[in-house]
Structure 1
Amino acid sequence: MENTFDTDLVYSIFKLVWRRKAADREEEAEVIMDTDVAGTSRKNRPMTANSNALRVSCELLQIFVTEAVQRAAIIAEAEGNNRIEPTHLERILPQLLLDF
């Protein structure tokens, strides 16, 4: 089995993003004065991820990072560099994001 990202790490990142989005929604709700029906508010529901979803997310992240490094290495090699520099990653990022 290939090395992948730790599922606990990915889950922690997901929770952080969910908390930030919930805080943003709360701020928007205060501005809009949204009236939710009791019991249906998103902020009352716990956010969680199933273990299979976490495992697949880890594999996808591993594939994405591996592909980014390989593409940046090709650019660096074409320029005659032995090291991948941030500029190499910047150059491959637009196409990489389109491909994924």
Structure 2
Amino acid sequence: MEEEQNSFDSDLIGEIFKRIWRRRAAERERNEATDAMETEVFQVGGATTPKKNRPTSANAKVFKLSSELLRVFVTEAVQRSAMIAEVEGVSTIEATHLERILPQLLLDF
């Protein structure tokens, strides 16, 4: 039960994913409309069929797993930053500590 309280809300993570998917779908539609207008002039004979834009979706397990991965990532970032701060002899984690650990953290994940 304590694990759930310290985790990110999977519904929130799901809504973030869905918002990004909707934005990317709208961008693809705009790009396809622009491309269709540009290529329409150059087509000689034969009709082309547009790509079907399937909506991106995922089930609840994906959002739970993503929430857990995000929790682990943030926890690791805080722990590594705390180690750097401790070595420097300060009691608070600052942005510079996070900046120093971020490249290796990203490589590890």
Q: TM-score range by the shorter chain?
A: 0.7 to 0.9
The number of aligned residues is: 97
Which protein shows a greater Rg? 2
In structure 1, the partner of 2:96 is 87
CA RMSD of aligned residues (A): 2.0
> Is residue 53 from structure 1 mapped to residue 62 from structure 2 by the alignment?
yes
Ranges in structure 1 where 5+ consecutive residues have no aligned partner: none
In structure 1, the partner of 2:43 is none
Structure 1 segments of 4 or more deviating over 4 A? none
TM-score (norm. length: structure 2): 0.78
> Is residue 96 from structure 1 mapped to residue 105 from structure 2 by the alignment?
yes
Residue 60 of structure 1: how far off its partner (Å) = 0.6
Work out the percentage of aligned pairs sharing the same amino acid. 57
TM-score (norm. length: structure 1): 0.84
Q: Residues 3-14 of structure 1 correspond to what in structure 2 (within 5 A)?
A: 3-14=6-17
Ranges in structure 2 where 5+ consecutive residues have no aligned partner: 41-47
State the alpha-carbon separation in 1 of the partners of residues 81 and 11 from structure 2: 28
Which of 30, 43, 49 is equivalent to 1:37? 49
Amino acid aligned to 1:58: S
